[in-house]
């Protein structure tokens, strides 16, 4: 996929996406979508009492929730919402570095946008621009049942 390719069937609207996530696990963790690019969505999550595990580090599941949220939202903007939805098939994350405080920024970038599946590359970085989590989400493109 070229860096200049726009992949969106419907251009993601940051305000609408954040509104869609109200009263869900996403909003409870403080996750906000912050940026739309030609082939990616980005968002942020605080590392605080909601997102830490008992040893004071960001919980790996919280990082996975941030990244899957971004990739899932992105995937569903690459299909016609009147005829198709995208659902996650497989999520893989590797946690590279612990984070105790601050903000983690996640990015989900399209690797493959196909008619029946999509693959998204995932990256989370800390406030010092260090990678903390990397991963991949594979999504199935599913026809809506009428």
Degrees to nearest 5, angle at CA 136 with 91 and 3: 150
Structure tokens at 38: 């030609």
* Residue among 71, 4, 21, 20 nearest 42 (CA): 71
Per annotation, catalytic residue among 15, 68, 90, 143: 68
Is 82 assigned a catalytic role? no
CA-to-CA separations, 132 to 86, 96, 146, in angstroms, rounded:
26, 5, 42
CA-to-CA separations, 47 to 5, 53, 102, in angstroms, rounded:
33, 10, 5
Helix (H/G/I), strand (E/B), else coil: 33: strand
Cβ count within 10 A of residue 72: 21
What span, in angstroms and rounded, lies between the C-alpha atoms of 105 and 129? Answer: 9
User: Which residues are tagged catalytic?
Assistant: 68
């Amino acid at each position: 996929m070229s860096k200049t390719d726009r992949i969106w069937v419907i251009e993601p609207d940051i305000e609408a996406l954040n509104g869609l996530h109200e009263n869900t696990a996403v909003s409870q963790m403080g996750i906000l979508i912050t940026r739309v690019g030609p082939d990616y969505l980005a968002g942020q999550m605080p590392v605080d009492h909601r997102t830490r595990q008992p040893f004071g580090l960001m919980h790996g599941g919280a990082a996975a929730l941030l990244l899957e949220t971004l990739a899932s939202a992105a995937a569903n903007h690459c299909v016609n919402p009147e005829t198709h939805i995208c659902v996650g098939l497989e999520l893989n994350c590797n946690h590279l570095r612990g984070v105790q405080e601050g903000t983690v920024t996640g990015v989900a970038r399209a690797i493959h946008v196909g008619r029946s599946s999509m693959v998204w590359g995932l990256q989370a970085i800390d406030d010092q621009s260090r990678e903390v989590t990397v991963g991949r989400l594979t999504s199935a493109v599913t026809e809506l049942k009428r």
